[in-house]
Amino acid sequence: MSDEQKPAVEMVDVQIDGEWHQFPKGTRMIEACRQAGRDVPHYCYHPKLSSPGNCRMCLVEMGMPPRPRPGEELKPDEDGHLPIQWIPRPAIACANTVAPNMGIRTDSELTRACRHGVMELLLINHPLDCPICDQAGECRLQEFSVEHGNGASRFRENKVKKPKNVAIGPRVRLDDERCIMCSRCIRFADEIADDPVLGFTDRGSHTTLAVHPGRELANNYSLNTVDICPVGALTSNDFRFQMRVWFLKETESICTSCGRGCNLTIGGREGEVHRLTPRQNDAVNSAWMCDHGRLNFHYLNSELRLTDPLIRGEAGHETATWAQALKTAAAALAGFGPNEVAVIASGRLTNEELFMARQFAAAVKSEFIDIVPRLGEADDYLAAADRNPNTLGAKLILGLENPGAGLKSIRDGIAQGRIKALVALQENLVDDAGFSAGDLGKLEFLLATYPLANPTAEAADVVLPGAGFAEKRGSMINLTGRLQRLNRAHAGPGQTREPWEILRDLIQELGGGNGIYRADDVFAAMAAEIKEFAGLKLADLPADGVALLDTGETVPLLDRERERKAKGVIVG
């Protein structure tokens, strides 16, 4: 073995519930059991956080080979395994690692008795207010009560009273009586968010999770504490009492609030998004997401949603059918010469939509196509300065070197009368791209697609309702060059259509059919033309995406996670 080569990780034999398995040395017992398909219930353990071992729910029976008497030698069996002497006291599986010839029993009488006892202790002071608790349906205490608990309580004394309905921050609410003191939230605040404002006061029979008077849990990652809280102690101000979790239809998608592309799950019901929760992807966002991205969906349920195509008539905008609106738009656009039409696409469009935007620009004989850059402030965790989710897709598909650099020439072209028509795809040019009402007034024809009513739509001759991120299917490329898929949770309100559909129909009106019926067809057409996508299929993209481009971009939070994992502080 050369010096550069890492030594191969030593594998150890471990017997779990009677079957022998092999695990790398250093594997936590709880992870070994999980990998062997014998999940061990737990509350405090979280692979991304340190393991204090305080909830005791993961107690298992453990055994090792007995120490031989002097002169005696242990005889291995025919498979080379030594006999196991079971230790009469249980061990926690979360903070101990496997050892050679170790035995673990996750289903023995001792293990079951431990779980039973721990459940009984945890429920002694628990208010059992499940009918009004937001966590009901995804509560570990409920689930393990069913699996490991006692049907009735033997406790006849008074339950301890603790603070309830405490606003510990602008977005998080605490019910201390529901808290089982697992300390996940404290460790998240200490270790991940670097904002150690949470702690336990009055440790003992009155242990109380608290923020110091005058302090609050206000960091941009505070709502992750609600996700990792195994019970209903921490709830989200935004989501609490909005919807029972078992009614939510869960759709795997990605966040479109910045270029990070955090993986998330959309919790929706009957055409309405109720919450977004992070979905683990160790190459993108670990198990977390920022509060800004998580809460940035309410516009989808806004009263300002455009629900029907609109055509400007004598008396202002009038509702039209798609056929009328598309025909009107196509007829108007067909009347302009080469480069008299400009297209302003968006870094919020999917690759498929950008590809259709490129085809569309060709159909209207325009070389003017650009996107609106959107810059914010990067933090040292996940949030990226580029607040467009698909800038890399726009660069790749539209061939833009410097996105946004062409906007000025489009504005100048409009001012000088060279550009006579403008198509704004999912962008609000007045508020976000520095166009004035005067600029737009000079145009002979303005077509706008957007989910919401806005000043650009107000000025447009034809307005088409375009779907928001939860209402469309497609792919985007995040800042690290990872190709990820958005899935449609539900259709947009009213007559809303996905932008790629709108563009396909416009192209059809302008020049005939193109054989595209699904977002997957667009992707296939794109893969045939753009070499980076060659060989890929939209439907085959894995839930955690694929590395497509090498951008050299790193994620500060992931760098720190790798460091902690290498030190063995976390499982990762």
Partner 1 sequence: MALEIPKALEKEIDERITHYPVSKRSAVLPVLHALQHHFGLISEEAVVWTAAKLELEPIKVLEVVTFYPGFRQSAPGKYHIRVCRTLACAMAGGHELMESLCAAGKIDRSGVTHHHPIAVGADGKFSIEFAECLASCGTGPVCMVNDDFHENVTDASALLARYK
Residues at the interface with partner 1 (CB under 8 A) = 196-206, 210-213, 215
Question: For residues 5 and 205, which CB has a smaller minimum distance to partner 1 in the complex?
Answer: 205
Q: Tokens standing for 485?
A: 């898929």
Measured from the CB of residue 189, what is the shortest distance to partner 1 in angstroms?
9
Contacts of 208 (CB under 8 A, 6+ apart): 162, 163, 176, 179, 200, 201, 202
Measured from the CB of residue 213, what is the shortest distance to partner 1 in angstroms?
7
Residue that is written with structure tokens 């603790």 in the block: 162
Measured from the CB of residue 197, what is the shortest distance to partner 1 in angstroms?
6
Q: How many CB atoms lie within 10 A of CB 120?
A: 16
Contacts of 305 (CB under 8 A, 6+ apart): 451, 452, 453, 465, 492, 493, 494, 496
Measured from the CB of residue 162, what is the shortest distance to partner 1 in angstroms?
11
Contacts of 355 (CB under 8 A, 6+ apart): 397, 522, 525, 526, 530
Measured from the CB of residue 163, what is the shortest distance to partner 1 in angstroms?
11
Q: Tokens standing for 403?
A: 């996105």
Bridge partners of residue 260, in order along the sequence: none
Question: For residues 215 and 240, which CB has a smaller minimum distance to partner 1 in the complex?
Answer: 215
Q: DSSP for 133-177, please give it.
A: -TTTTS-HHHHHHHHHS-SS----SPPPP---SEE-SSSEEE-TT
Question: For residues 181 and 384, which CB has a smaller minimum distance to partner 1 in the complex?
Answer: 181
Query: Are 70 and 78 contacting, i.e. CB atoms less than 8 angstroms apart?
Result: no
β strands within 176-243, DSSP E: 198-201, 208-211, 234-236
Burial class (CB in 10 A: 0-12, 13-18, 19+), 6: exposed
Dist. CA 108–CA 113, nearest whole Å: 9
Question: For residues 26 and 196, which CB has a smaller minimum distance to partner 1 in the complex?
Answer: 196
Measured from the CB of residue 230, what is the shortest distance to partner 1 in angstroms?
21
Measured from the CB of residue 205, what is the shortest distance to partner 1 in angstroms?
8
Q: Tokens standing for 266?
A: 């959309």
Bridge partners of residue 61, in order along the sequence: 105
Question: For residues 82 and 124, which CB has a smaller minimum distance to partner 1 in the complex?
Answer: 124
Measured from the CB of residue 194, what is the shortest distance to partner 1 in angstroms?
11
Measured from the CB of residue 560, what is the shortest distance to partner 1 in angstroms?
19
Question: For residues 173 and 348, which CB has a smaller minimum distance to partner 1 in the complex?
Answer: 173
Question: For residues 164 and 206, which CB has a smaller minimum distance to partner 1 in the complex?
Answer: 206
Sheet containing 263-269: order of strands: 249-254, 263-269, 272-278
Dist. CA 335–CA 96, nearest whole Å: 74
Q: CB-hemisphere CA count at 13 Å for 214?
A: 0
Measured from the CB of residue 200, what is the shortest distance to partner 1 in angstroms?
6
**107: closest CA among 119, 96, 99, 115?**
115
Question: For residues 151 and 204, which CB has a smaller minimum distance to partner 1 in the complex?
Answer: 204
The number of angstroms, rounded, from the C-alpha of 298 to the middle of its chain's C-alpha atoms is 16
Query: Are 384 and 375 contacting, i.e. CB atoms less than 8 angstroms apart?
Result: no
Measured from the CB of residue 207, what is the shortest distance to partner 1 in angstroms?
9
Measured from the CB of residue 341, what is the shortest distance to partner 1 in angstroms?
58
Query: Are 284 and 480 contacting, i.e. CB atoms less than 8 angstroms apart?
Result: yes
Q: How many residues does the chain have?
A: 572
Q: Tokens standing for 323?
A: 């056929």
What does DSSP say about strands 341-345 and 102-105: parallel, antiparallel, or unpaired?
A: unpaired
Measured from the CB of residue 214, what is the shortest distance to partner 1 in angstroms?
8
Q: Tokens standing for 545?
A: 């995406």
Query: Are 384 and 358 contacting, i.e. CB atoms less than 8 angstroms apart?
Result: no
